[in-house]
Amino acid sequence: QVQLQESGPGLVKTSETLSLTCSVSGDSMNNYYWNWIRQPPGKGLEWIGYIYYSGTTNYNPSLKSRVTISVDTSKNQFSLKLSSVTAADTAVYYCARLAGTLGHPEGFDPWGQGTLVTVSS
Amino acid sequence: DIQMTQSPSSLSASVGDRVTITCRASQSIVKFLNWYQRKPGKAPNLLIYTASRLQSGVPSRFSGSGSGTDFTLTISSLQPGDFATYYCQQTYSTPWTFGQGTKVEIK
């Protein structure tokens, strides 16, 4: 049974870079799309982007200029970097696997438990 | 971006009630609509994918229907563990987007 776990600093200073890692256990990363999603306090869920195990990425245009997602299949991990953060980037950040394929996506399953990142000066 | 609009934003219901939540897309998403349940402090849990397919392990009292722009999640007989927030999501085109959520509370 595949499990995902986010890790990284819970507090990031304004204008700096937020960095999170998602560790995947229980299955290979091969042939799947790996996603980052966030939810600011009191707001809705926002898809940040995905990375295919081979390295192909797709980012939400609203964040594209600041986002980098990378993968290290040898460590069974993928990572998120979000630059020039502001208070608006304070959120619970989740990683998740896309079930199915891009041509026939079947939702995100499973998800990590989520990690709260607070941006403050 | 495709906008997803859920209604209602919240509802109160009793154990045993039939509950229906709707989700409308701003354009056709064919059948690429997923439903999630989220309980406080926990990650979302996939209930339904491609509009009507029940995720493995999810109780059969959950069902989904719809196509095009209008979709429905139905809980046939609400159980105590079903009090949660429900989200729809389209995976028809990126950026994949979510509805704002429907909170199901105890009456």
Cα–Cα distance between B56 and A57 in angstroms, integer? Answer: 28
pLDDT band at A121 (very low <50, low <70, confident <90, very high): confident
Does residue A29 register a pLDDT over 90?
A: yes
Contacts of A96 in chain B (CB under 8 A): 43
Nearest residue, CB atoms, A107 vs list B42, B89, B97:
B89
Give the residue among B47, B95, B98, B90 at the shortest CA–CA distance from B69.
Answer: B90
End-to-end CA distance of chain B: 36
Q: What is the pLDDT of residue B106?
A: 87
Q: Is A21 exposed, middle or buried (0-12, 13-18, 19+ CB in 10 A)?
A: middle
Is B49 in contact with A107 (Cβ distance < 8 A)? yes
For the segment B20-77, what is each residue's pLDDT rounded down to a tens digit? 999 999 999 999 999 999 998 899 999 999 999 999 999 999 999 999 999 999 999 9
